[in-house]
Structure 1
Amino acid sequence: MEYCSRILYKVGTLPSFQFHSRCKHMKLNHLIFADDLLLFSKGDYNSICMLMSALKMFAETSGLQMSLGKSEMYLTGMTEDEISRIQQVTGFRIGSLPFRYLGAPMSTKRLKVVNDCEALIDKMCMRVKVVLHNINSICRNYLWHGSYDSNSPGYVAWDMVCTSKDHGVLGVRNILLWNQAAVAKHVWAISHKKDSLWVKWVHSVYINEANWEGYQPPTNASWVWKCICHIKDQLWPMIAINDATQFSIAKTYKAPLPNGLPWRYNKGYGIDFLFLSIDSFFGLL
């Protein structure tokens, strides 16, 4: 699939190829996940023919063929004649929006949480909350009672137990705080404009040329993006201690606030995050 990606990238460098309007800035004409391929272009006959020629070249070279029965195309703002002409050259059936990919709804319109995403979000959040709280609970029970399933309370507040050894306490890792420090890696990646599709997309769609440190998300931004921006505002001094080449979750977690005090878990944000690779957030925004 790497060879397929290189061919499609080459197609994007040709002067006659026209990108989709939302992909032009990043020069994005495809995404590959495992053996799934998503193609993007302007609804232009020549551009689509170029993409199909690239797939044909890949098939002839690798022996891997498209499954037309599992392939669909989604078109908007085009005449019936244009659609018919494109369908003849591709052989794909016409799909309708929204459709689901990996369980998430795909649409050209802003998704409605209640109708489109509520079940998926609830399922993800509940699993993450359970995992994070259970890890903290197991650690707390083992420390005070020597078993993981005790219901007896601890002798000292867990926030105090998790305070750094520099402050004379045990310094046990708080998984909820660690989770926030992990999310902060996304803030750092955006700040240093790392070579990532997700980072490029965020700069293109949300930030543009704005100052990232002082940036505030628009009211219509996604919930995930607002939470990342909140982590930025909350942990910026600790994020800034990382250099441009490498981010350390451990260093961020251990870093004190500017006043020298340890930072505390903010119950409003962060608990619903589990650290993922940067590119994996692309489909959630």
Structure 2
Amino acid sequence: MGSLTGYKYHDRCTQLRLIHLCFAFDLLLFSHGDYISILLMLRGLKIFSSSFGLLPSETKFAIYCSGMDDSEVRRVLRSLVSLEVIYLSGTLAFQFALKIFLLQNVGIMILPKKLLRDVEAICRAFLWKGMTYSSGPGLVAWNNVCLPKKVVGLGFRKVIYWNVVAMGKYIWAIASEKDNLWVRWIHSVYLNNLDWWEYKIPTDCSWYWKRLVAVKHPFKAKIDLNAFAATKYSIKIGHDLLFDHTIKVHWSNVV
């Protein structure tokens, strides 16, 4: 598509020539937010649908615009209306969810701390009251409940800790230079062959990238880059590395 006259890639997708991502029956399209690029992208989508009988689902269609003039957005929406008429006039075979992103910035969703605290509150309420919500205190402090079984805890994971070690998989993927699209995208947009362990966040980067890089620091304090990259990362390994500093007592197996 990049060879078509007038088409421009999304600003963050130019180097990798990235125009779409597919997940089963979900399709994500990325484009620069100008009318010509969007029109060419939609024409390509029309050819795809006509060839394979896979049409966007009316109920799962969405378009996201950012940094575009209102007049340009209205022009794009008019094109989508005419395109929808073409789709509906044809024979409907299989449908897929279509999301079109016409953005100046692309991000990864990271769970906010408030949501993590709410999830943990539900876990506490269910453990002690068998309910979704409870205002009363638990019988045992939650920090003690979340201790490993080897030191007389129940082995529950603190949700905030779990989120950190889960995000650690991304830190490890970059450190080990995994050959996948996301790592290549991170290198093309942010790192540009810089040393990952010494990398510092630029002031103009996105919120999600700042949050993700911040997760790197506790791992960096515990292990050097080469040893971390050579590890086959898992949630358990990440949790033990960062948060399991307890000493096993001799009677723990009896408990």
* Alignment TM class, shorter chain as reference: 0.5 to 0.7
Q: Which moved more, 1:241-250 or 1:188-197?
A: 241-250
Tell me the amino acid that sits aligned with residue 262 of structure 1: H
Q: CA, structure 1 residues 151+201, in 2 after alignment: closer, same or farther (shift >3 Å)?
A: same
Q: 2:236 aligns with which of 250, 258, 269?
A: 250
Map 1:107-118 → 2, pairs under 5 A: 107-108=103-104
Aligned-pair distance for 1:107?
4.5
The residue that corresponds to 2:94 in the other structure is none
Give 1:26's match in structure 2, choosing from 16, 38, 44.
Answer: 16
Q: Corresponding residue for 2:92?
A: none
Give CA-to-partner distance per residue, 1:160-201, whole Å, 9 cap, x none.
961573xx5547233232222111111112222334443333
Give 1:158's aligned residue.
143
The answer to whether the 8 Å contact 2:173/2:183 transfers is yes
Cα deviation 1:194-215 (Å, max 9, x = unaligned): 3444333322222222111111
Give the ranges of 4+ consecutive aligned residues of structure 1 lying more than 6 Å apart after TM superposition. Answer: 47-50, 70-77
Structure 2 unaligned regions, length at least 5: 85-97, 247-255
2:168 pairs with 1:184: yes
Residue type of the partner of 1:208? N
Q: CA deviation at 1:27?
A: 1.2
Does the CA contact (< 8 Å) of 2:168 and 2:215 recur in 1? yes
- Structure-2 change in CA distance of 1:164 and 1:35 (3 Å): closer
1:172 is aligned with what amino acid?
G
Query: How far apart are the structure 2 equivalents of 1:234 and 1:188?
Result: 12
> Displacement, 1:59?
2.9
**Secondary structure of 2:200's aligned partner:** coil
Per-residue deviation, 1:219: 2.7
Q: Does 1:40 pair with 2:31?
A: yes
Greater share of strand = 2
**Percent identity, aligned pairs only?**
25
- Aligned-partner Cα distance in 2 for 1:252–1:75: 36
Alignment partner of 1:201 out of 172, 185, 203:
185
Q: Tell me which residue corresponds to 2:45.
A: 55
Q: Is the aligned partner of 1:262 residue 2:245?
A: yes
CA 1:91–1:246: 2 relative to 1, 3 Å: farther
The answer to whether the 8 Å contact 2:124/2:142 transfers is no
**Are residue 64 (structure 1) and residue 54 (structure 2) matched?**
yes
Q: Output the amino acid matched with 1:201.
A: W
Query: Which residue of structure 2 lines up, in the alignment, with residue 230 of structure 1?
Result: 214
Deviation at residue 248 of structure 1 after TM alignment: 0.7
Counterpart Cα distance in 2 of 1:132 and 1:255: 22
| Distance in 2 between residues matched to 1:62 and 1:174, nearest whole Å | 46
Determine the structure 2 residue equivalent to 1:283: none
Q: With the length of structure 2 as denominator, give the TM-score of the two structures.
A: 0.57
CA distance in 2, matches of 1:41, 1:181: 34
